[in-house]
Amino acid sequence: MMRGHGTLPSREHCIYTSCYCEENVWKLCDFVRTQGTAPLEQLFVVFISNENRMVPLWKQKSGRGDQPVIWDYHVVLLQVGLQPDSLIYDLDSVLSFPCSLKLYAAQALRSDLNIRPEYHRKLRVVPADSFLLNFASDRSHMKNSDGSWRMPPPLYLPIHSAGSRMNLDDFISMDPAVGWGTVFNLDQFLQSFVGSSSSSSSSSSAAASLS
């Protein structure tokens, strides 16, 4: 079990399917809901994307050296209400699981200051209970035009809500008028949950490839 807080399974015991980060995080939220290991109101699902669906993240398993991975979107779990720092759960990161939000901000998110505007990150923060209630995916975004899978899907059945079979785009969208939760730019997110902006985070020369 998770060291220190016992909230979530250890990384190796999490339900994980590569390239299905939104479902991996749904399963983490469902674990807390069913096991009662933490107040669900401490948990928030964070979708990281932008209008161009090109967002760099560092310290990802699929990265090479200190080069960022450019995701169309990525999803992590945020746990607040802990001292001295909030926690990030990212099953695709080489950082610790969980990782302090301050460390994740400095190492994985870094800064938007030195990269081109089309790569600037936005973050949709959705309360876990709302995500569990409303999220639905038929996995059609992971199929090629001939119906074959771009990446093998999870073995369990697709996640559907009472009102939808597919609304993933509403979560990936960074239009505040669409979907659930609150949309932040990177600085707003860090000021809200860390208390400092990305300008104080380390910025690597690897960002030069995005500038």
Report the DSSP beta bridge partners of residue 94.
Answer: none
Distance of CA 133 to the CA centre of its chain: 18
Which residue pairs from 152-159 have beta carbons closer than 8 angstroms and sit at least 24 positions apart in sequence? 152/17, 153/17, 153/20, 154/15, 154/17, 154/20, 154/23, 156/15, 159/23, 159/26, 159/135
Q: Which of 21, 29, 112, 120 is catalytic?
A: 21
Q: In whole angstroms, give the CA distance from residue 136 to residue 167.
A: 5
Integer angstrom CA distances of residue 86 from 19, 120, 134, 154, 194? 25, 23, 24, 29, 8
90 part of the active site: yes
Q: Is 29 a catalytic residue?
A: no
Active site residue 74: yes
CA nearest neighbour of 162 among 131, 185, 133: 133
Catalytic member of 90, 99, 112, 120: 90
- Report the 10 Å Cβ neighbour count for 133: 12
Residues in the chain: 211
Which residue among the candidates 74, 99, 112, 120 is catalytic per the annotation?
74
Hey, which residues are catalytic here?
21, 74, 90
